[in-house]
Amino acid sequence: MEYKASILVVDDEKSFWEVVAEGFELRGYRVVAAMSGEECIEKIKTDTFHIILLDLQMPGMGGIRTLEEIRKMNPEIEVIMVTGHGDIALATESLKKGASDFVEKPISIERLVNTVEKVCEQRMLRETVLLYELSKVIFSTIELDKLLKIIIDLTMKVLRADDASIMLFNEKKELYIAISSGLDLDIQKRTRLAIGERIAGWAAQNKEPLILINGLRDDGRFSDFKGRSEIQSAMIVPLLKNDEVIGVLNANRIKLTENFTQNDIYKSKIFISLVSLALDNANLYNNFKNAQEKLEATHMQLVQSEKLSSLGRLVSEMAHEVLNPLMVISGNAQLILMEGAQTDQVSKELKVIIDEAMKAKEILQRLLKFARTNKANLRKADIGQVVESVALLVERQFAANKIVIRQSYAKDLPHVHIDDKQIEEVCMNILNNARDAMPDGGVMEILAVRDGDRVRVDFKDNGCGMPDEVKERVFEPFMTTKEKGTGLGLSVCYGIMKAHNGDLKVESRQGAGTTISVYLPCMKG
């Protein structure tokens, strides 16, 4: 299952992290608990977390000390401090030591969710800027020799390595060292590896990254190999393009005593994908360039030669331009931010963004369609109880927004065959949309009845409603009327219902509220 983010809750009060886990898991987050600062540090060593909710006052290792240790181990984890009344001075100190934000107890789940999502947005912005900067450097050239030098320099910077090398395939499908920052030239020239041979060959064959600690001494698979004794830790990563290995990247730490971890592999995924894409483009360019040179050497007729030469140049230029649409979107978005005013140039860049966004949309639609084919974990369930449990979760939140929830469930409703977690997600999404549609308060009616051979659950609000043009597109991916939001919520819900052989329908009139109906087939027998 794919999560929005992984959260580690560090608090010695079991009741606190149980409430947090329940609230965040329903919203698509993965939540893990630690009862102390010491346990937090141990979990970071073996697992990957995007956000840590860290209690400021704990027995043993306190919040500030734990924060300092987290920053030493992984400065990229977002840490939100959880403070009690009167701890503002300590909370301020934690911000100086690298915390992203702090929240005070008692905490409402809604307020905590808003804080976490704000921190996630800030993280995504930083990653987008970094991604854009990396892509600018990596895609600044398509000539292989220049590109290899750039990649080696970036590898040592991004992965904090003391030396690095890149292995590519020759015509015999052997791995050779195309470039290295630390190896002797004679070794580079002599080294040739078949797929599966030694360490790099193993990574290429299995298409899996490797981490080695203390050279080769602690890994039985390679104990027979004689490695470089000065290497403290190594990371060997296959470079993949469309699941095909095009090379292997090796990064070594010699002076730096800190070992590579699985988190380093996780963090480097985007960088490695950019490297693979750039190398693939450079290989295309080189192949076309070589083909062009061979054709020109055959002394063909002048006209034919000119045509082939033009074609070679055209395809080479196309190879340089065929980059991940995300790079184009990120790059042009940054240019617009720097430009500020709506000039003619900005308008041109906006058109580029729209075109590339459409490509990204088509890709995501295919991914969504694939995801929706995943088999649900079905069980016999009382749909009334499932819906009622979700309504209970949002009841206080709705009351705070002056929204009254009225529920009516027909007696002896037939059972349904559902994945209750997925159906809870559908109900939660519908209820959250209804709450947003009633900013000044209102009434939320939930009705469950039998409708022929199906059970129908109606979610009816008396909010602002939708115009016809919005209602007709409400289940389309990216369709949203909110300033913030992906527009994927109801699209995902629609996919879930189809996977349950059910349906999702909407009736709405602007200014007169909205009714969304969930249909599920009754169990037979």
* Residue 472 placed within a domain: yes
Q: Residue 370: what pLDDT?
A: 40
Report how far residue 150's alpha carbon sits from residue 171's, in angstroms, rounded to the nearest whole number: 24
Return the pLDDT at 400: 86
pLDDT in tens, 98-132: 888 888 888 888 888 888 888 888 777 666 666 66
Same domain, 120 and 143: no
Q: Helix or strand or coil: residue 277?
A: helix
Give strand pairing partners of 45. none
d(CA 133, CA 140): 11
Q: Containing H/E element for 195?
A: none
- Return d(Cα 465, Cα 73) in angstroms, integer: 50
**Ramachandran region of residue 98, left (φ > 0), alpha (ψ -120 to 50) or beta?**
left
Pick the last residue of a domain from 267, 285, 305: 267
Residues 6+ apart with CB under 8 A from 103: 80, 81, 82, 83, 111, 112, 115
What distance, in Å, lies between the first and last C-alpha atoms of the chain? 32
Report yes or no on 166 lying in a domain.
Answer: yes
Do both 440 and 510 map to the same domain?
Answer: yes
Phi, psi (deg, nearest 5) at residue 294: -65, -40
Residues 397 and 492 in one domain: yes
Please indicate, yes or no, whether residues 108 and 173 belong to a single structural domain of this protein.
no
Among 223, 247, 267, residue at a domain's last position: 267
Same structural domain for residues 517 and 383?
yes
Shared domain check, 120 and 165: no
Q: What is the pLDDT of residue 494?
A: 83
What is the extent of the structural domain holding 14?
A: 6-124
Q: What's the angle, vertex CA 175, arms to CA 297 and CA 151, rounded to 5?
A: 85
State whether 184 and 68 are in the same domain.
no
pLDDT of residue 245: 92
CATH number of the domain to which 159 belongs:
3.30.450.40
How many residues are recorded in the chain?
Answer: 525
**Cα 426 to Cα 413: distance, rounded to the nearest angstrom:** 19
Is position 10 within any domain?
Answer: yes
Q: Can you say whether the dihedral through the CA atoms of 293, 295, 297, 301 is positive or negative?
A: negative
- 389 and 497 together in one domain: yes
21 and 92 in a single domain? The answer is yes
Number of domains into which the chain is organized: 3
Q: Does 215 fall in a domain?
A: yes
- In sequence order, what DSSP letters do the residues of 32-92 get, joined into one string? EEESSHHHHHHHHHHS--SEEEEESS-SSS-HHHHHHHHHHH-TTSEEEEEE-TT-HHHHH
Alpha carbon 463 to its chain centroid, in Å, reads: 33
Domain stop point among 99, 124, 149: 124
Q: What is the pLDDT along the chain (525 residues), one digit of tens a residue?
A: 567 788 999 998 888 888 999 999 988 899 999 999 999 999 988 888 889 999 988 888 989 999 999 888 887 789 999 887 667 778 788 888 888 888 888 888 888 888 888 888 877 766 666 666 777 777 778 788 888 999 898 888 888 888 999 999 988 899 999 999 878 888 888 899 898 888 889 999 999 898 887 756 666 676 666 667 788 888 999 998 888 899 999 998 888 777 887 767 877 787 888 888 888 878 777 766 665 565 455 444 433 444 434 433 443 343 333 334 444 444 455 555 455 544 565 556 556 655 655 555 454 444 444 444 455 678 899 999 999 999 988 888 888 889 999 999 998 899 999 988 889 888 988 998 899 889 889 999 999 999 999 999 999 999 888 888 888 878 776 566 665 555 567 777 887 888 888 999 999 988 889 999 999 999 886
Using left for φ > 0, alpha for ψ between -120 and 50, and beta otherwise, residue 236 falls in: beta
385 and 516 share one domain: yes
Asked if the structure places residue 294 within a domain, the reply is no
pLDDT of 300: 41
